[in-house]
Chain A
Amino acid sequence: MPKYELVLFKNMAQSGYTGSFTDYKKTGGYTAFEKVLKEGSPANIIDEVKKSGLRGRGGAGFPTGLKWSFIPKDHVGPRYLCCNADESEPGTYKDRQLMERDPHQMLEGMAICCYAIGAATAYIYIRGEFDLGAEILEDAIAEAYKAKVIGKDIFGSGFSLDIFVHRGAGAYICGEETALLESIEGKRGKPRIKPPFPAIHGLYQEPTVINNVETLANVPHIINRGAEWFASIGIGKSTGTRIFGVSGQVNRPGNYEVPMGVTVREMIYDIAGGIRGNKKLKAFIPGGASAPMMKPEHLDTPLDFESIKEAGSMLGSGAITVMDEDTCIVWAAMNLMEFFHHESCGQCTPCREGSGWVLQILRRIEQGHGREGDVDQLLDLCGRIEGKTVCAFGEAEIGPIVSSIKHFRAEFEQHISEKGCPFHPNAALSMAH
């Protein structure tokens, strides 16, 4: 018997559930939206979401209700909701499952949010590679218009809402909320300087809320079952369930919805079936590529925002990447730096140039040409990126490097002194692209 109750995955776990409007309606779908339109005031909805303790599932964990409350009440002119479906954090693939298997759950959450913040237009910013996801969402939106749960004068309330899909075109940085706005506006995805925050000057300079897919998918459940129910799941300030995407060298990779606060050990060994080939765990990343690496000694850390932070990493997007004892950590750091170097938007010099230099040094260490002092040089470079960029990408890209040196410095030194990689001396190491 499963140990934990499903919330977000509950519908799609039923056999034969297609995610169509009819199927969603049968599970009680859109009753939360109807309820708030008929009975709830926007202020009450925001209060309820605040009380639930719901925090952003995209990575930063910002309190959702608080974010909504920043939208100026007296603003004259349009307000917007942007659903962040740019899922690109390496290791993360949960929003894809939520969108492809139960799109109306997220659409209902969006509709409730729009009513609460007074937005008549919402955009779903979906990463360009999700062609299937975009097709499914377009179909779901068409169904929702047809059923009149979005569109003009919904349920006779006078409230009208349009939802549009805006497709990205391949850029990790567009998951950063202000880069996402730039991208909808038809520009390069270069993050904006904050403040002003999007709640004041967002899309088209109008007040805007940007929320992740999983965050919004939780909203109908909070309305239906109450803030207290939601707050009773999880641990401390990390309330509700969380979808953890486990990948890498585990026996049963996949997305698992569990209450926040289960330990990493339970997640990797009990739930995801342990390490492939009965090997030993060497390292894991708890929250997507941007989160600092952790070691087996951290296995008993609960998976909640605070505990993971205290242990020196971050819960981020809830993506757990597992590396076994045969993984070369220098290679893993290099692989991730290739990603960050490729994805740097190029706006800030420390990030644009620094990522290239860090990658160059990691490559030479891995390929057996490392020099004495290279490890300190890496740390020095990382220090010159951290805190010196417009957005958090700078902190993100140094996370795996600084943490891998902190936990596995001897392995870096061994590569340099032995002039080669002890793990895969002859294998192809990197795929230039």
Chain B
Amino acid sequence: MRFKALSKETIERIKAEFPKYPNRRSLTLPALRIAQEDIGYVSEPAMIDIAELLDLTPIQVYEVATFYSQYNMKPVGKYLIQVCKTLSCSLVGAIPIIEYIQKKLEIAIGETSEDGFFTLKVVECLAACGSAPMMQINDRYYEQLTPEKVDQILSDLKTNGKSDLATGPFMLPVLQG
């Protein structure tokens, strides 16, 4: 068995990206993303597999994985909550939202709730400054947050695996001067 951590399906998903680029090394970011989508985080054996697949040394993959903030180097909860705290969000109440989530889930920043559902992270600007405060949970944005909305979102996710409060294509109306 050539690959130890990545499934055949994951390998195939990565290989499907090959035609986009003139060389294998360019696949490093897509491969790490796909691996993380499939196994939840970027493990050392996964990085070794990626190196093997892309004809790279493991360190070439590792140095990329540790540079970018979206790769989880350790397992995280089923839902990764990332709340923005940069200036525009903080000016309109991001910090109380972060405190609220900490209290609600009884976890500190960087921790995972006991039931394994939620991990809380605080992150820098996610480009939703006009609809602040906001957070990203897995692959969706949640904007114009209030404690009540947070309650609803977390409860939806826990019971249904998704929430209607997730933002669709850019939520603010077209505004005219």
Q: CB within 8 Å of B: which residues of A? A: 2-4, 6, 9, 12-13, 19, 78, 87-93, 95-97, 100-101, 127-132, 136, 164, 166-172, 183-189, 204, 245-249, 252-258, 262, 266-267, 270-271, 285, 289, 319, 321-323, 327, 332, 335-336, 338-339, 342-343, 345, 427-428, 431-433
**Sample (9) of A-B pairs whose CB atoms are under 8 Å apart:** A3-B176, A96-B170, A129-B126, A131-B139, A170-B68, A255-B175, A321-B91, A321-B129, A431-B95
A433 close to B177 (CB less than 8 A): no
Known: A88-B127, A186-B27. A256 touches B176 (CB 8 A): yes
Inter-chain contacts of B21 with A (CB < 8 A): 164, 184
Which A residue sits closest to B36, measured CB to CB? A169
Which A residue sits closest to B17, measured CB to CB? A164
Inter-chain contacts of A253 with B (CB < 8 A): 129-132, 172
Interface string of B4-37 (1 = CB under 8 A from A): 0000000000000000111101111110110000
Q: CB within 8 Å of A: which residues of B? A: 20-23, 25-30, 32-33, 54, 60, 63-64, 67-71, 85-88, 90-92, 95, 98-99, 109-110, 121-132, 136, 139-141, 167-170, 172-177
Inter-chain contacts of A100 with B (CB < 8 A): 169-170
Which B residue sits closest to A253, measured CB to CB? B130
Inter-chain contacts of B131 with A (CB < 8 A): 253
New contact pairs (11) apart from A13-B174, A253-B131, CB-CB < 8 Å: A92-B129, A93-B129, A101-B169, A168-B29, A170-B71, A247-B130, A258-B177, A321-B87, A321-B91, A323-B91, A431-B122
Known: A90-B129, A204-B23, A247-B88. A339 touches B124 (CB 8 A): yes
Inter-chain contacts of A6 with B (CB < 8 A): 174, 176
Which B residue sits closest to A341, measured CB to CB? B124
Known: A169-B69, A170-B68. A164 touches B20 (CB 8 A): yes
Which B residue sits closest to A188, measured CB to CB? B67
Would you give the shortest CB distance from B124 to chain A, in whole angstroms?
5
Inter-chain contacts of B121 with A (CB < 8 A): 433
A285–B125 CA distance with the chains assembled, in angstroms: 15
A54–B79 CA distance with the chains assembled, in angstroms: 43
A311–B38 CA distance with the chains assembled, in angstroms: 51
A254 close to B33 (CB less than 8 A): no
Inter-chain contacts of B173 with A (CB < 8 A): 254
Known: A164-B20, A187-B25, A204-B23. A255 touches B125 (CB 8 A): no
A186–B131 CA distance with the chains assembled, in angstroms: 33
A256–B121 CA distance with the chains assembled, in angstroms: 31
